[in-house]
Chains A and B, each alone.
Chain A
Amino acid sequence: MSGETEASLPKITVRVERGGESGLTFRVIPCLDVKDGRVVKGIQFKNLRDLGDPAESARRYAEQGADEIVFLDITAAPEGRDTDLDWVRRTAEQVFIPLSVGGGVRKLDDAARLLRAGADKVATNTAAIERPELLTELAEHFGSQCVVLSVDAKRLTGSDQPPAWDVVTHGGRKARNMDVLEWIERGVELGAGEILLTSIDADGTRDGYDLELMRRVTRQVSVPVIASGGAGNLDHLADAMEAGASAVLAASIFHEGTYTVAEVKHRLRQRGFAMREEIG
């Protein structure tokens, strides 16, 4: 637990997700990086540690009130390997909240196999950069609602210009020389129904999300944006939602037991953010 006390929390009016009158809640999404069918965690995709069985972890988070689970198969992109889908199937048999799976989605058939195995949404990153029409094909076949464009952003440094971010892939190892804002806008036009936006600079640091990036992106597109990379405490989650995120994705704060999902949602609700009531 953090050292915050209830008294130190500012009282604010109830916030709801972007736009007028709606009962839509913010979403809190644990992210599970999966390698060879096991949950792993490393800083900036390096020094991986085994954190257990994906289905078991997902079920535990769902019981705590997670609003969705995102799985990223982190081995799929670098090694060009297909995802073994048994763990997706086992998860979908026991977890009845939305499941998103990314990693290795290069063509329609990859997405179809994930959806058949039990994913509700598929996330694509590198393949969409290399062949942007993939987004349109996915949207036309399965609907935009199950197409998540995952974008890894790296802040361009050492410039007097206003902040800008470059699209990177392969865990940040490969620069794409594409402007993040332009790519996201194009991705939405092509069919992406949701953006999973990861700051590679912040990922794994637990120093907070890149809020400037979040504000810029959420001002630019109307589809939901999931903030990812850098969550270390409750303030970070609240800040990202204030910056326009529809959902906050976090890994280590949940995996390492800093907070349970239930604690996070309870505290965010106390701060006035609309949250789904978790079930006891």
Chain B
Amino acid sequence: MSDPRSAAPGHRVVVIDAGVGNLGNLMRALAHLGAEAELTVDPEVVAGARCLVLPGVGAFRPPRENLRGEMETAVRRALDAGAYLLGICVGYQLLFDASDEFGSTDGLGLLPGQVQRLPDGVSLPQIGWNQLVDVRDEHPLFRGLEAGSHFYFVHTYAPLEVPESAVLARAKHGTTFVAVAGRDRVFGTQFHPEKSGANGLRLIENFLEMAHEADSSH
């Protein structure tokens, strides 16, 4: 279902363990792509990274609280030094200004916008494969992916209000939400690319390539 073990040869990536959820399958996907992935809770490792992934499942607040302080500072230091960052699912939501889950909780503010609850009237949480629309298909994150590709989503909240300049793709579930966003070197997907078959692996590979190319051109 993907080119085995050579897609991102030796690309180094640091995966931030915010203390929630099972990160094994993300690590397995990175290994499958040939990346050298390190899972860490150490802010120093994060601060020195050139390529970061911030995963997360479940609720917004526990990982938000776990990141507060040293780890948040470390992420900002890495970004200031030119690192690339990919947020996945709740890790994606954490990148925005704030989330309405549990009243209102501030996010990392690395992407502009608000995370809100999807409207009632559709099955919630959304569990399953949904299709990207309004894809900014010239973006390198979508290299090799066809229009209308499906990805695997598991979520109840999503960024609904995001400035157009940061929107890379949308999807529909009850309303149109922002499924992929990005600004500068910070990107995120509401879906789980590590569980989205060949399309998902390709997107991860594209992200690793972007980070790697930027790093080699330094």
Contacts and interface: CB of A to CB of B under 8 A. Distances in A.
State yes or no: do A and B come from one complex: yes
A22 B174 contact: yes
A104 B113 CA distance: 43
Interface stretch (B72-80, B159-167, B190-198, B210-218): B190-198
Interface residues of A, number: 40
A116 B24 CA distance: 6
B104 interface: no
Given A25-B130, A94-B32, A17 B148 contact: no
A115 interface: yes
A98 B196 CA distance: 8
Nearest to B2: A96
B28 A118 contact: yes
Given A25-B128, A67-B129, A19 B123 contact: yes
Contacts of A222: 123-124
Interface size class of B (residues with CB under 8 A): 35 or more
Given A18-B122, A144-B125, A224-B128, A92 B174 contact: no
Interface stretch (B8-16, B38-46, B47-55, B149-157): B149-157
Q: Which of B122, B174, B200 has the most CB of A within 10 A?
A: B122
A22 B197 contact: no
A25 B1 CA distance: 20
B174 A19 contact: yes
B150 A25 contact: yes
A66 B172 CA distance: 22
Nearest to A141: B58
A279 B199 CA distance: 8
A116 B22 contact: yes
A136 to B, nearest CB: 15
Contact of B24 (A21, A62, A92, A97): A92
Nearest to A65: B197
B123 A21 contact: no
A144 B57 CA distance: 11
A111 to B, nearest CB: 10
Contacts of A97: 152, 195-197
Given A23-B130, A93-B32, A98-B152, A224 B123 contact: yes
Interface string B132-154: 01000000000000101110111
A232 interface: no
Nearest to B193: A96
Contact of B28 (A22, A25, A92, A98): A92
A27 interface: yes
A193 interface: yes
A242 interface: no
B83 interface: no
